[in-house]
Structure 1
Amino acid sequence: MFKLYDLNLREIPFPDGVMPLDIFVGSISKTRETETIPGRNGVMNYGFNYDSRPVRITLLAEGNDRIDYRLIRNAVFEVFDLHDVFYIEETDVPSRVLKVTIDESYQPDRLTRDDASFDINLRTLDSVFWESKYTTLELHDSGYSATAEKYGLVDNIDDEKVNYRFTESNFTVYNAGNVTVEPESMMLNIIASAVQSDNNFTIRNKTTGEEVVLKRASAGHAFRIHGMVISLGGITNIFRDTNRSFISLMPGDNQFEILNGTFKEINFEFKFLYK
């Protein structure tokens, strides 16, 4: 079984007479960069990018008569056309979703005069990874409960590591997913409030060796890193006033330290990603 959600994670209802049957999710395909060099044995490997992953769903449409069947068929066409890009969830793992779209034409397979099945091919869009339906700040603010469907029992959450708001200069950010969170293409928001610094206020991930350095003074302003956009107070896009680097979060523990200034609170908001 599966459920559909719009991009605001509001459930999309199926038309009356339509029952979701099953979902089949494939592995992630890769695009690999290689080169053959004359006079040298083998193929040079320059790495790969994740491409997409196939998803297939099956539906059952049950009408009361031939006319009703055709109306239900058209309602299925309409719901998938209205929601061009949407999220899909396996109901057995309700805490994760894939972002998908349908580009291929599909046609119902008539079972009886009044009933038909749909076999529909989807593909992932923007991200090939399962992502948690919740953010780390939702997890922090509401508190983790192993019985809560929202947070699931299989997301590798450690109930002793669900703190994502910090007031000390040394702390640990726990990434429960098995994918590195990278701000270039994934949600990663870091906000340090009431920053007092003469220069070089630094947020350093000691685990990865990455750091963001603010190369200007701050007199109690909020220092924000929203993906690739960095701002200070009301000044947006101050990338050139930094060391022009970003921070990622590896799976597991990420040890952080804050240098060359004080702050009231720093918080990390992201979603857990799974292959």
Structure 2
Amino acid sequence: MEKTVKIYNESFSEVLTDIPGLRFLDFDEEGVEVVTNSQEMKGRDGVGLLGPASFGSYTLILRFFYRGQDVKDYNLLKKRLRSLIFRRDPYYVVHSDMPGIKYSCYASENAITDIGDRFGSFEISFTVYKGYSESLLNTSQFSLDKADKWQVEGGHLADSSIKYKHTDSRFRIYNGSDDAINPTLGYEMMIKINADAPNGFKLVNNTTGDVFEYKKAIKKNSQIIIDGVHPIINKQRVGKDTNWGWINLEKDFNDIEITGKNLGSTTVEFIFNFVYR
């Protein structure tokens, strides 16, 4: 199978390996930077208070081989690559060795490093600024016939019960990430809710204990979107009409429930990317 590298965002798309003579060899992900949230206390050994760790950016290295005509040809290639990878806005990198994953990147300073003389092997370094990679697709694009596009251990994606849009009041949401999806940490998740709820409703993750409550009446033709931690109706934030709660997703399966007095029909959809450390 031909090995490929693609970079893209909303305004452009380029396949680097479409350049004649350029071949993608392999990749490497450097170690993750762990940032501990701790505070020492006088009179106690070690760390007195230890909070959850966060994760810094890391480096993605892609190695290539180029066979050109001469040194001039090689220098022209590097100039072209610099114009492609150095951009004002960040972009995604996708490569064929991990085809179900995308990296939010910008090219590192002095990104192109010569390994051989004149022409031959070289590597390009990218800073993965989010500190994690993501599934190429989000859950709104999930179907069993696309299961091979999701790089998940354990084989759960072959489970025919996995879906992300539900009309039942109780259902399960599968998070195939390496980590919990916590919107307060910057992970993107959108929950779309249509409910016939004359007395409001509660959306509960029984796995994590999280509760989101909307306290006003709402009809099913009016959609509420929980965008991260912000509830929105008709492009207006409506946090004042809620309990100021939000929903997290633990790794693996999460048991979700929507309840409310005289609650009628409902449709709930979870849209997010899996994240990988």
For Structure 1 versus Structure 2, the TM-score category normalised by the shorter chain is 0.7 to 0.9
Q: CA separation in 2, counterparts of 1:30 and 1:258? A: 36
Moved over 4 A (4+): 8-11, 152-156
What SS class does the counterpart of residue 70 from structure 1 fall into?
A: helix
Q: Tell me if structure 2 keeps the 8 A contact 1:192–1:263.
A: no
Q: How does 1:50-89 map to 2 (within 5 A)?
A: 50-82=55-87, 84-89=89-94
Equivalent residue, structure 2, for 1:168 = 168
Equivalent residue, structure 1, for 2:150 = 151
Summarize deviations over 1:7-53 as a string: whole Å, max 9, x none. 35975222333222221112321111233322222222423211122
Letter in 1 for 2:124: I
Q: CA separation in 2, counterparts of 1:107 and 1:54? A: 13
Equivalent residue, structure 1, for 2:141 = 138
Summarize deviations over 1:62-85 as a string: whole Å, max 9, x none. 321333222112001111113752
Q: Tell me if structure 1 keeps the 8 A contact 2:86–2:106.
A: no
Aligned residues: 267
Q: CA separation in 2, counterparts of 1:259 and 1:207? A: 16
Equivalent residue, structure 2, for 1:256 = 256
Letter in 2 for 1:138: Q
Deviation of 1:153 after TM superposition, in Å, equals: 6.8
User: Which deviates further from its counterpart, 8-17 or 258-267?
Assistant: 8-17
Q: CA separation in 2, counterparts of 1:108 and 1:38? A: 48
Equivalent residue, structure 1, for 2:208 = 208
Q: CA separation in 1, counterparts of 2:90 and 2:67? A: 26
Q: Tell me if structure 2 keeps the 8 A contact 1:4–1:86.
A: no
User: Which deviates further from its counterpart, 83-92 or 215-224?
Assistant: 83-92
Q: CA separation in 1, counterparts of 2:37 and 2:267? A: 43
Equivalent residue, structure 2, for 1:189 = 190
Deviation of 1:90 after TM superposition, in Å, equals: 4.4
Instruction: For structure 2, list consecutive stretches of 5 or more residues without a partner in the other structure.
Output: none
Letter in 2 for 1:244: W
Instruction: For structure 1, list consecutive stretches of 5 or more residues without a partner in the other structure.
Output: none
Q: Tell me if structure 1 keeps the 8 A contact 2:196–2:266.
A: no
Q: Tell me if structure 1 keeps the 8 A contact 2:38–2:50.
A: yes
Letter in 2 for 1:136: T
Equivalent residue, structure 2, for 1:124 = 128
Q: CA separation in 2, counterparts of 1:235 and 1:20? A: 44
For residue 274 of structure 2, the aligned residue among 268, 272, 275 is 272
Q: Tell me if structure 1 keeps the 8 A contact 2:135–2:274.
A: yes
Q: CA separation in 2, counterparts of 1:153 and 1:197? A: 36
Summarize deviations over 1:167-223 as a string: whole Å, max 9, x none. 111111111222111223122111112x22233311111111101101111133212
User: Which deviates further from its counterpart, 204-213 or 175-184?
Assistant: 175-184
What SS class does the counterpart of residue 144 from structure 2 fall into?
A: coil
Deviation of 1:251 after TM superposition, in Å, equals: 1.0
For residue 22 of structure 1, the aligned residue among 20, 26, 43 is 26
Equivalent residue, structure 2, for 1:237 = 237
Root-mean-square deviation over aligned CA pairs: 2.5
Q: CA separation in 2, counterparts of 1:235 and 1:117? A: 50
Q: CA separation in 1, counterparts of 2:47 and 2:187? A: 32
Structure 1 vs Structure 2: percent identity of aligned residues? 22
Deviation of 1:108 after TM superposition, in Å, equals: 4.4
**TM-score, scaled relative to structure 2:** 0.85
For residue 100 of structure 2, the aligned residue among 95, 102, 115 is 95
